[in-house]
Amino acid sequence: MMLSRFVFPSALLLSCFSSQQTPTTYSQQGVLTAHGQLSPELRARIERDRQTAIEINDLAARIRSEADAGALVDKIAEVFADALPPSWMTRGIRERLAHAEYEAVSDSSRLIPEQRIADVWNEYVREIGAPDDALVTTAELYNLRDADFAAAQFFWSRGHNIWAVSTIYALGPGGKMAEGARPIEALRILYDLDMRFDNLRGARERIRRGVLASEELRKRTENQSQAPSVQSTFTVRVSAGFDRNPVHAAELRYIQQHGPYVLNGVVEKLFDELFPPTD
């Protein structure tokens, strides 16, 4: 059991991403017809997921009030209600997220600084006894966010699903990543760090080469004679076999030593640091 799979309140949105299945994973689960085609039931489900992703993308793009932000948070929680506690238990946290989301959209100075995200994550890493390799810098976070945003834009043009929702990202001048993140994006970053650690490894490799994933993807797509291979740029989307995530082993040890409720308390404390309660 990993942080983003069972711990609340972060699970409110982190589990939304981890629970979402794509048509590829559907087909891997053996839900094909005798002719190797997706079943009508599955096609209908995929279409519903696609329409939901479009709705979430639209909601995130047109937040004009705290009520709009609340509708966005509620919609995400509604989609994954089966994996979350009852709505009455999450109401306070959803309201806090909606308030923070609206403030970040209406005033860029209220974006969550990358340094705060890094500090919260690094505090978690040290608390659970994960190796130093799991610590993150603001430069790595920026590169990671750029890769996520570039991948979202690329995949949105090829099929709508929640992984490709790009309107949750905070942008600065020239369409580049802002130095701070919107609250929902911040939770997505924590999901990457916890569940898709190879994303961070990819960011570190790009920093070593002095590039951004968005730049690499743009160069690939500009040269139509070379078919873009997002697999090489965004290998973070594929996981297989051996788990090389240094955070997972530390989480399991911590749970064995202290129990899940203690870890839940740690995450709640960090959640308060990331989204300070309002008076």
CA–CA dist 201, 140 (Å, integer):
9
Q: What is the pLDDT of residue 83?
A: 67
- Residue 176 to residues 118, 214, 218, 226, 244, Cα–Cα distance (Å): 20, 9, 13, 25, 31
**Res 28 pLDDT > 90:** no
How far apart are alpha carbons 85 and 92 in whole angstroms?
Answer: 12
**pLDDT by residue (tens digit) across 90-147?**
788 889 999 999 999 999 999 999 999 999 999 999 999 999 999 999 999 999 999 9
116: which 2 tokens? 């705060």
182/178 Cα distance (integer angstroms): 10
Supply the DSSP symbol for 112.
E
Task: Tell me if 198 sits within 8 A of 236, measured CB to CB.
Answer: yes
Structure tokens at 189: 């970053």
In the predicted model, is pLDDT for residue 149 greater than 90? yes
Is the Cα torsion angle 104, 175, 58, 90 positive or negative in sign? negative
Task: Write out pLDDT tens, residues 198-246.
Answer: 999 999 999 999 999 998 888 887 775 555 444 444 444 434 445 688 9
Helix (H) or strand (E) holding 143, with range, is helix 138-156
Segment (H or E) for 204: helix 197-209
* pTM for the structure as a whole: 0.80
The mean pLDDT value for 68-85 works out to 83
